[in-house]
Structure 1
Amino acid sequence: MTDAVQPTVADDVALARASEIIETARKPDGKRPVIRTFFDEPTFTASHVVHDPATRVAAIIDSVLDYDAAAGRTARSSADAIIAYVEKEGLKVEWLLETHAHADHLSAAPYLQERLGGKLAIGREIITVQETFGKLFNAGSDFERDGSQFDRLFDDGDSFRLGEVEAIVLHVPGHTPADLAYVIGDAVFTGDTIFMPDFGTARADFPGGDARQLYRSIRRLLSLPAEARLLLCHDYKAPGRDDYVWETTIGAERAANVHVHDGVSEDEFFDMRTKRDKTLSMPKLILPSVQVNMRGGRLPEPEDNGKRYLKIPLDSV
Structure 2
Amino acid sequence: MTRSRTLSPTATNSVTGYPAAAAAPRPRPTRISVERAGNRARFSVLDQGLYLAPRPVNGTADPLHLRVALIGIHMMLLGGDDVRIEVSVDPGVTLEVVEPAGMVAYDADLVPSRWSLDAELGEDAALIWDGASFVAAAGSNVRRQTRLQLASGARALVRETLVLGRSGEHGGRLRSITRAAGPGGDFLYEDLDLTGPRHRAVGILGDAKVVATATAVGWRPGALPEPAAGAAPDGAREPGRTRRFDLAAPGAVARSLSVQAHTADREAGAVFEAWRAELTS
TM-score (norm 1): 0.31
| Structure possessing the higher radius of gyration over alpha carbons | 2
Which structure's relative contact order is higher, taking Cα pairs within 8 Å and 6+ residues apart?
A: 1
Structure with higher strand content: 2
